[in-house]
Amino acid sequence: MTHIKTLAALAAFALLASPALADEPGPGGTKPVIPKNGEETYKMVCQACHMADAKGATGAGTFPALAGNDKLGTAEYPIFMVVNGKGGMPYFYDTMSPQQIAEVVTYVRTHFGNAYKDPVTAAQVKAIMDARGK
């Protein structure tokens, strides 16, 4: 019985709470949060698998380290991975813009012990997207 009362109280609370949420601006509101730069994209998208320190993880799957990763030396390699995915790595060609991918790849290539100074451009990403016949 008390269980049902609790549920009813929760339902009433949800009804009261939802109209206020609808016009709340910024995070916590109904609009999706759009990352502003490569660092934010990393934190919102990549970190879940590659970890905050980019050292990867092994558990239910294997998530390779991006920290100190020589394969990032060739910009096309990480661009290709983010655009096309591979195995447990999702593809992002249809959810991220070339600019956003350029920023996040530049971010991982210049952080976590990687020091590849040449910034990745949206044009480089676009070329790889075009190559997949998007």
Residues lying near ligand HEC in the complex (CB under 6 A) are found at 45-46, 48-50, 61, 63-64, 66, 69, 71, 78, 81-82, 86-90, 92, 104, 108
For the chain, the C-alpha Rg in angstroms (whole number) is 20
Which of residues 6 and 95 has its CB atom nearest to ligand HEC in the complex? Answer: 95
Least CB distance to ligand HEC at residue 12 (A): 38
Q: 76, 78, 47, 74: which is closest to 63 by C-alpha?
A: 47
Which of residues 19 and 87 has its CB atom nearest to ligand HEC in the complex? Answer: 87
Give how far Cα 113 sits from Cα of 73, 107, 125, Å: 12, 11, 23
- Cα–Cα distance measured from residue 71 to residue 77, given in angstroms and rounded to the nearest whole number: 7
Which of residues 29 and 88 has its CB atom nearest to ligand HEC in the complex? Answer: 88
